[in-house]
Structure formats: C-alpha cells, structure tokens
Amino acid sequence: MGRPGPADFGGIDPAQGPDLLREGVLSVEGRLTVASNTTLYCTISDGSRSAACVYKPVAGERPLWDFPDGTLAGREVSAYAVSEALGWSVVPPTVHRDGPYGEGMVQLWVHGDSTVDLVALSKETEHEGLRRMAVLDAVINNSDRKIGHLLPAPGGHLYGCDHGVSFAEDYKLRTVLWQWQGLPLTEEAMEALTRLRARLRDELDPLSVELVRHLTGPEVYALRSRVDLLIQHRIHPYPAPDWPSVPWPPI
C-alpha cells in the first residue's frame, strides 16, 4: 500500500496542508452539483504555494432530522483529527475556517487514480487501506460510507471523503465495507486504537481539545465508548439490527 505524499495533492506536502488551508486565500472556481450540500471546488494560495481544495460552507448545509443544524463541517474536521490520531491519514487534510460564504470546512483535493474500479475496490478483502477505513468508520460512527467516497491516489494510498454525518451518539454505522464484520481486528488496528483511547482520555490532549470544539459532550463520550468496545471485543462490528446497514444509493 502506498504512503501519502505531495503527488496526492498536486505537489503539496500533506504535513503542510493544514497550514495552507488555514492561512491561504480561498478562491471559488465552481460548484460540485452532485453533492446534497453546497460543495465548492476552490483554489487556495498563500503566495508561494497553491492547491485545489473543497469548501463546504455551514450556510449551505441541508438540515437533517438526526444531526444538529450547522454541525456537519465540524464533523468533517473531527474525522480528520481522529484519522491523524490513528496514524493512517485516511482523511485528506481538513480545517475549519472562514471563507467567501462564511465559516465552513476546507479540505485538500485528492488527485485520484481514475483507472481504479471503485466498485471492485470496495469489495476487496486484502486491501490494507480499505480495512483501515472500515475501522475508522466504526470509530467515528460514519453513517454514509458510499463507494464514491473512496479516493485512491496514483501512488496507492487510499483516502476517504464526506464524513459530515458521523459521530452521532446512537449507533448508526452505515457503509459498503461490511466484508470484515465479526472478524478479528488486526494487531495494527489494536495498537492504533489503544493509542487513540489514551489520547481521548486526556482532556488536555490536542485531539480532545479539537473534538470538543465541534462535538457535543455526549458525542465525545460515545466516541470514547465505541473505542473502548472495539478494544474490548477485538473484532470488526456488525450492522445494527434496526438501522439500514448500507447507504442508499451505495455509489
């Protein structure tokens, strides 16, 4: 499996991505009309560096019955924070900032590998990056992991996008990645989850500080509980019996 690198983001080192996203000038180039919420394709530049990115203003979020209004951008940022804490870089660099249409989330655009068959990829069982993504989704309680949210980069690393409907208190895991349900978690996953649990238990840790900016107290508590359960049972979770297990449409 490939590692994250500048080629994935048009030459921008992913370690420098958050600073560019926070400090750069955001220019809207167009709108991605297939998205249910306002999703704008932009360029961001600080004078010496520039990159493509996605900007989702809070003002353009469609109200949902099961998530508080105006919170989806913060959930996207929280997903990035957890992904980085796990050490897997599943989520592209993402920040919360002001923009031309108000505050929202801004995320580096992944220059994906268009030759990959996403449907076939979503069914693989030996893909390390895909399995990491399944663990991340279980941790953040992602209720919308569609096939189209898989972003394979030319170098082989796999990213995922659209995590706005995550971190609910109730169990709402809804994903196309159920091929590992009930199977033991890898040792790598157990080690990453153990590190994550330690950081979540420290209220002064930068991860915890970031999460409380965007999530409610009960949602942070539920996140800690999900990590505890994964470590306790050491297996990939099963679908909920009273909740649709696969998003619709799945692509």
- Say if residue 243's pLDDT is above 90: no
214, 77 contact by CB (below 8 A): yes
250, 177 contact by CB (below 8 A): no
Distance in angstroms (rounded) separating the CA atoms of residues 44 and 93: 13
Question: Treating both helix axes as pointing N-terminal to C-terminal, what angle do 187-201 and 72-86 enclose, rounded to 10 degrees?
Answer: 120
How much is the pLDDT for 55?
A: 98
Task: Report the DSSP beta bridge partners of residue 158.
Answer: 152
101, 192 contact by CB (below 8 A): no
> What does each C-alpha distance from 149 to 111, 119, 142, 192, 200 come to in angstroms?
13, 11, 12, 23, 26
Per residue in 200-239, pLDDT (tens digit) is 999 999 999 999 999 999 999 999 999 999 999 999 999 9
Per residue in 42-59, pLDDT (tens digit) is 999 999 999 999 999 999
Once rounded to an integer, what is the mean pLDDT over residues 123-134?
98
Once rounded to an integer, what is the mean pLDDT over residues 136-154?
97
193, 135 contact by CB (below 8 A): yes
How much is the pLDDT for 131?
A: 98
Angle at the Cα of 153 (from 150 to 159), degrees rounded to 5?
40
What is this structure's pTM? Answer: 0.97
Once rounded to an integer, what is the mean pLDDT over residues 122-129?
98
How much is the pLDDT for 171?
A: 97
Per residue in 68-105, pLDDT (tens digit) is 999 999 999 999 999 999 999 999 999 999 999 999 99
Once rounded to an integer, what is the mean pLDDT over residues 185-211?
98
How much is the pLDDT for 34?
A: 83
- Say if residue 1's pLDDT is above 80: no
How much is the pLDDT for 36?
A: 83
